[in-house]
């Protein structure tokens, strides 16, 4: 019984930290061999769309951009793509807030904020976070508030 609770030790005798929690580390996608997914991106200046804006299938907000990408795409990559189609996102002081939009178990849409980036500054905020590590699932929409 004592063996169950023994502390694992490093070669130097110091104890190892607790086992890692959460998701396993993100494995990069081979973009040459893996088919991209279609990501429906909705942009809005000033705030995110409300969940009611997505309530009726086929009547989603009009400001949609469709992007082919991979689950390992970072918020920085997506920021740069949004800047190509949304002039407001190119402002020097613009911030972009990203949210996933998906149906809950009852079929009602949820808007869940997942990260923020600055339009013109690399390496700040959540730039390096990938869709997969933020919990993205194929079929989710991406809502981008340009602040």
Closest CA to 119 of 127, 111, 130: 127
144 token code pair:
């981008």
Distance (Å, rounded) from C-alpha 42 to C-alpha 82?
10
* DSSP β-bridge partners for residue 98: 115, 144
**Confidence (pLDDT) at 48:** 98
* pLDDT for 11: 53
**pLDDT, position 124:** 79
Per-residue pLDDT 10s for the chain (147 aa) are 455 545 455 555 555 555 555 555 677 889 999 999 999 999 999 999 999 999 999 999 999 999 999 999 999 999 999 999 999 999 989 999 999 999 999 999 999 999 999 998 876 799 999 999 999 999 999 999 999
Neighbours of 51 (CB within 10 A): 16
Class of domain 40-146: alpha beta
């Amino acid at each position: 019984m004592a063996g169950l609770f023994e502390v694992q030790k490093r070669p130097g005798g110091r104890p190892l930290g607790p086992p890692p929690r959460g998701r396993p580390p993100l494995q990069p996608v081979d973009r040459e061999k893996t088919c991209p997914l279609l990501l429906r991106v909705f942009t809005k200046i000033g705030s995110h769309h409300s969940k009611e804006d997505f309530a009726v299938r086929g009547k989603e907000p009009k400001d949609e951009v469709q992007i082919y990408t991979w689950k390992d795409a970072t918020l920085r990559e997506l920021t740069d793509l949004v800047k190509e189609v949304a002039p407001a996102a190119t402002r020097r002081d613009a911030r972009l807030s990203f949210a996933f939009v998906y149906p809950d178990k009852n079929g009602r849409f949820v808007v869940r904020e997942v990260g923020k980036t600055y339009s013109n500054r690399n390496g700040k905020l959540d730039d390096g976070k990938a869709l997969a590590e933020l919990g993205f699932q194929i079929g989710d929409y991406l809502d981008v508030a340009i602040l």
